[in-house]
Structure 1
Amino acid sequence: MHPYAAEAITDAGGTQLILAAVIGIAVVILLIAWARWHPFLALVLGAGALGIVAGAGPEDVVKSFTTGTGTTAGNVGLLIALGSMIGALLADSGGADGIVKRIVERVSGGALPWAMAGVAALIGLPLFFEVGVVLLVPIVLLVARRTTVPLLQIGIPALAGLSVLHGLVPPHPGPLVAISSLNANLGLTLAFGLICAIPTVLIAGPIFGNFISKRVHVTVPALAGAPAGVSSAGSAAGSSGADRPDAVATESGAAVSADATAEPVERDDDKPRPTRNPGFWPAVLTVLLPIVLMLLRAIAELTLPEKNAVRGVFHVAGEPVVALLAGVLLAMWSLGKRAGFDRRATSAVIGGSLPPIAGILLIVAAGGGFKQVLVDVGVGTVVADAAKDANVNALLLGFLVAVGIRIATGSATVATITAAGIVAPLATTLSTPEVSLLALAIGAGSLFFSHVNDAGFWLVKEYFGMTVGQTIKTWSVMETIISVVGFACVMIISLFV
């Protein structure tokens, strides 16, 4: 049974339910954007306000919220943790550096922006956006110093590759949450996401980067490294963002100072150091293994009969938890052992990957609770009925809802979770491919116009030494291009499925 098929926990009418949804979302927005509360607490209180205004009993609201939180943490949290382990081994073994340097060293001149986009998309598969930025930007700055290519012409493609993967391709948190909320087919969503990612990265990356680099001139910063307060793991190096009034908390727990200047980051003395490079192809194949297994499952389900033994094997191997676990086990050898880590060092890297993702896990889990309250009070049904009566396309509705919440909160994850909860009932009226496209439409909307209430905005600003105005003209416009082009691609695919 779909989670949104349960009986409503309130008898309130449509007007009251819409008012409850508006107030609940408004509470989340105000607490995040104005009061600067952590999104986890904002989502908890927003869910409470939503349920109370909708007329549901306190016990029902608590039960609904905890059910949604547990389900989301179980379905999505495990995948985020496994993906983080692969990302940590990729980063700390030197595998990511090896991929970047191998490709960048073999191209030059006008091909560099295209190479950077490809590198960013590849290593962005298992990495959170902030961690990818920490890994890639120092390389971007180094290449910009050694060549005559403008900084933005190289930097924008790298950022585009990371951002597109973050918003459209599992196993990143946003797409995973949308898939879980809508009960979408993961393999199809992954396939469609990769199809949309290619033109989106090319247009928002090398093409836009070439255009904007001629109009916005940015000097290469004198010092390369992460903004003050951000460690190489993408988490706060010192106190949390909540302890610093000038800091913006990123969705993975990083604290980025709005007034910080780029400074080099020292490696943590306790962190294992690789004694040799694990190699280019082992790193690439490790990154691609979970994706390939999930795609093979989707292909098998589409082409082989139900009782076929081969289909059964791929069905198990392509299960997201199994695919990512296989990736972790391979990474322990292909990245950890080949980098010279002993068993204790490899275990330390894997264990060290978990604390930095505590923030995103809490946000995703609380967002699942908020979504479940939206569903259980019946808001989604009201919106679905209104959309049918008004003949509004489900994909467009999902995109627009995500855009509105993204602009208001600055959080792509909150936008994805909330939008998925609101339009979830529409999924029952769609075919399996269309539900996957709905998940991607929401993901595309969640990336729309990053501005000053988004921690990613400040992360990019400080790394590249830009002014607020320059960051809006470059980063914010790039994010909008990604959102619009990604959604356009979704609509085009919908014409053929």
Structure 2
Amino acid sequence: MPLIILALGIVLLFVLIIAFKLNAFLSLIISSIFVGLFQGMEPLTIVKSIESGLGGTLGHLAVIIGLGAIFGKIISEGGGANRIARTLIYMFGEKRVDWAICLASFVLGVILFWEVAFMLLIPIVYTVAVEAKVKLLKLGIPFLAATSITHCFLPPHPGPTAISGVLEANLGLVLAYGLILAVPATILFGPLFSRFYKNWDIEIPDHLVSKQEFNMDDVPSFYTSILVTLSPVIFILIGVITEFTLPETSMVYKTLTFIGNADIALLIAVFIAFYVFGLHKKRKSISQLMKIVETALVSMGGIIFIIGGGGAFKQVILDSGMADYIANFTSDWNISPYILAWIIAAIIRLAVGSATVTVLTTAGIMLPILSATGASPELMVLAIGSASIAWAPPSDVSFWFTKEYLNLTIGQTVKMVCVMFTLLAIYGLLGVMALSTFIG
């Protein structure tokens, strides 16, 4: 019964948006109330759950989205994205820019949280598409595939790292096995998969791309532009290295881990961009920079609320006890532990949306089964991690991020993103089963 209620809630969400043309944020809130009521939650508990989910999601993401939007807009309006785009086109050729974007997304995706990598790269994706005169999805799909694949397969991302901790898996082996699956997957679901959508003529959102013509003599060099663009990555890496090398009590540790926090790294990067693309050589005045900031933040308003609505929907589903129901429902199934883990994770993912909740819940369920069967904990991590990307349900922020930034309709998002992520999850399971014949 709970799964039927969830299915009806998702159908209601799509009907409100597609048939009644209701705003996505309002539709998410209404669907959250529907699921909560039919799951037997108290009305006021539903309200608190919505507030908790919206606040919990935006408490972290709003800062990253806001600072990422400002950072990307400054680099774009200052000509940095244009400079990087032209250089990539020159290096790889117009016919292979999708491979350039795929490679850049994979490298950054390994070391950055999904949302941070998304916000850093999307302005460059837009600009390369404009400069190379290629369709947005030719670059958007490889970009999305690479950042998402690294997120579900490779440490130090939170999902694989968290599961490894619960299952006591060797992180080095998880990374090694993960790379065996991730590299072919990136090629398959990136540049090759984009060919299925070559006839989709998606326009870049007007408010998210600069149409300014640049005198390249006045624009910072490629190396300066790429260094500024990568500056938050550098700060985050410094923080990560510090965590493993210095004692927690030292002042240097506290300072560098503070700088390496994703929010602070982006904040510092914004001010570096202000100087390099604005104040240096008087390229732009303070008032001009602040106007760009204003434009960037205004353009993010609707997106932030939609993502928050997705968080509210997820929280109501979670608080209604859906994950516990699924755990009990699947506890007596007698199949391969890798397949069982994948199925449990895929069902929880569809039910609650959150990849983090999915992997932690599934890892807890599978821990005693892992001990009893003697299965490889490293392969179990990958089985759970691959299922955590399945479906891309509307209760997950990835659905709304992709819809808004790639300028897709709800139907297009389902046909492209949900299909890609589900096929990727199935690929992950097949890869784990293949590896298990050699590893155990």
Determine if the TM-score, normalized by the shorter chain, exceeds 0.5.
yes
After TM superposition, give the deviation of residue 490 of structure 1 in Å.
Answer: 8.8
Counterpart of 1:319 in structure 2 is 261
Query: Structure 1 pair 308/204, CA: closer, same or farther in 2 (3 Å)?
Result: same
Q: How does 1:87-486 map onto structure 2 within 5 Å?
A: 87-108=72-93, 114-118=99-103, 125=117, 127=119, 133-141=125-133, 158-164=139-145, 167=148, 199-206=184-191, 227=203, 230-233=205-208, 276-302=218-244, 306-307=248-249, 310-338=252-280, 340-390=283-333, 393-395=340-342, 397-399=344-346, 416-417=353-354, 425-426=361-362, 428=364, 441-443=387-389, 445-446=391-392
In structure 2, distance between residues paired with 1:183 and 1:131: 32
Q: Deviations over 1:87-132 (max 9, x none)?
A: 1112111111100112322344886553354466689935388755
In structure 1, distance between residues paired with 2:246 and 2:234: 17
After TM superposition, give the deviation of residue 233 of structure 1 in Å.
Answer: 1.4
In structure 2, distance between residues paired with 1:457 and 1:99: 20
Determine if contact 1:156/1:475 at 8 Å carries over to the other structure: no
In structure 1, distance between residues paired with 2:145 and 2:287: 35
After TM superposition, give the deviation of residue 34 of structure 1 in Å.
Answer: 3.9
Determine if contact 2:228/2:269 at 8 Å carries over to the other structure: yes
* Letter in structure 2 aligned against 1:57: E
Determine if contact 1:20/1:51 at 8 Å carries over to the other structure: no
Query: Structure 1 pair 395/309, CA: closer, same or farther in 2 (3 Å)?
Result: farther
Counterpart of 1:8 in structure 2 is none
Counterpart of 2:43 in structure 1 is 58
After TM superposition, give the deviation of residue 63 of structure 1 in Å.
Answer: 1.3
In structure 2, distance between residues paired with 1:184 and 1:338: 46
Counterpart of 2:114 in structure 1 is none
In structure 2, distance between residues paired with 1:400 and 1:201: 24
Query: Structure 1 pair 33/140, CA: closer, same or farther in 2 (3 Å)?
Result: same
* Letter in structure 2 aligned against 1:115: A
In structure 1, distance between residues paired with 2:39 and 2:393: 30
After TM superposition, give the deviation of residue 231 of structure 1 in Å.
Answer: 0.8
Query: % of aligned pairs identical?
Result: 22
After TM superposition, give the deviation of residue 42 of structure 1 in Å.
Answer: 1.7
After TM superposition, give the deviation of residue 307 of structure 1 in Å.
Answer: 4.2
Counterpart of 1:144 in structure 2 is none
The 3-state SS of whatever aligns with 1:56 is coil
In structure 2, distance between residues paired with 1:476 and 1:61: 27
In structure 2, distance between residues paired with 1:282 and 1:382: 53
Q: Deviations over 1:244-267 (max 9, x none)?
A: xxxxxxxxxxxxxxxxxxxxx965
In structure 2, distance between residues paired with 1:444 and 1:292: 31
Give the CA RMSD over aligned residues. 5.1
Q: Deviations over 1:124-175 (max 9, x none)?
A: 935388755532222232xxxxxxxxx78xx7762333223554578xxxxx
Query: Structure 1 pair 457/82, CA: closer, same or farther in 2 (3 Å)?
Result: closer
After TM superposition, give the deviation of residue 52 of structure 1 in Å.
Answer: 0.8
Determine if contact 1:103/1:115 at 8 Å carries over to the other structure: yes
In structure 2, distance between residues paired with 1:365 and 1:475: 19
Taking structure 2 as the reference length, the TM-score comes to 0.68
The 3-state SS of whatever aligns with 2:208 is coil
Q: Does 1:38 align with 2:23?
A: yes
Determine if contact 1:82/1:328 at 8 Å carries over to the other structure: yes
Which consecutive residues of structure 2, in runs of 5 or more, have no partner in the other structure?
Answer: 110-116, 152-156, 166-170, 368-376
Query: Structure 1 pair 93/437, CA: closer, same or farther in 2 (3 Å)?
Result: farther
Determine if contact 1:204/1:478 at 8 Å carries over to the other structure: yes
Determine if contact 1:274/1:341 at 8 Å carries over to the other structure: no
Taking structure 1 as the reference length, the TM-score comes to 0.61
After TM superposition, give the deviation of residue 353 of structure 1 in Å.
Answer: 0.8
In structure 2, distance between residues paired with 1:492 and 1:313: 45
Q: Deviations over 1:301-347 (max 9, x none)?
A: 34555545554344322222112212212221223334811111111
Determine if contact 2:391/2:418 at 8 Å carries over to the other structure: no
Query: Structure 1 pair 458/102, CA: closer, same or farther in 2 (3 Å)?
Result: closer
Determine if contact 1:85/1:350 at 8 Å carries over to the other structure: yes
After TM superposition, give the deviation of residue 32 of structure 1 in Å.
Answer: 3.2
After TM superposition, give the deviation of residue 289 of structure 1 in Å.
Answer: 2.2
* Letter in structure 2 aligned against 1:382: Y
The number of equivalent residue pairs is: 392
After TM superposition, give the deviation of residue 456 of structure 1 in Å.
Answer: 7.7
